[in-house]
Amino acid sequence: MVKVHLRKVTRENFRECLNLQVAESQKGLVATTTQSLAEAYVDSNLVPLAVCDIAACGYEQPKMPMIGFTMYEIVAGVGFVMRLLIDSKHQQQGYGRATMIEVIRRLKLCPEVEVIATSYRKENEVAAKLYQSLGFKQWEISYALSHPTEAYVKLEN
Ligand X SMILES: CC(C)(COP(=O)(O)OP(=O)(O)OC[C@H]1O[C@@H](n2cnc3c(N)ncnc32)[C@H](O)[C@@H]1OP(=O)(O)O)[C@@H](O)C(=O)NCCC(=O)NCCS
Which residues contribute to the site for ligand X (CB under 6 A)?
Answer: 22, 26, 29-30, 84-86, 91-97, 120, 124, 126-127, 130, 133
Coil vs helix vs strand at 144: helix
CB 96 within 8 A of CB 68: yes
* Nearest position to ligand X, beta carbon: 96
> 4 vs 113, which CB is nearer to ligand X?
4
Rounded to a whole number of angstroms, the minimum distance from the CB of residue 102 to ligand X is 12
User: Least distance (Å) from ligand X to the CB of residue 15?
Assistant: 19
Smaller CB separation from ligand X, 112 or 141: 141
Q: Which is nearer to ligand X, 113 or 127 (CB)?
A: 127
Rama region for 92: left / alpha / beta (φ>0; ψ in -120 to 50; rest): left
CA of 47: how far to CAs of 72, 79, 93, 103, in Å?
A: 5, 11, 24, 11
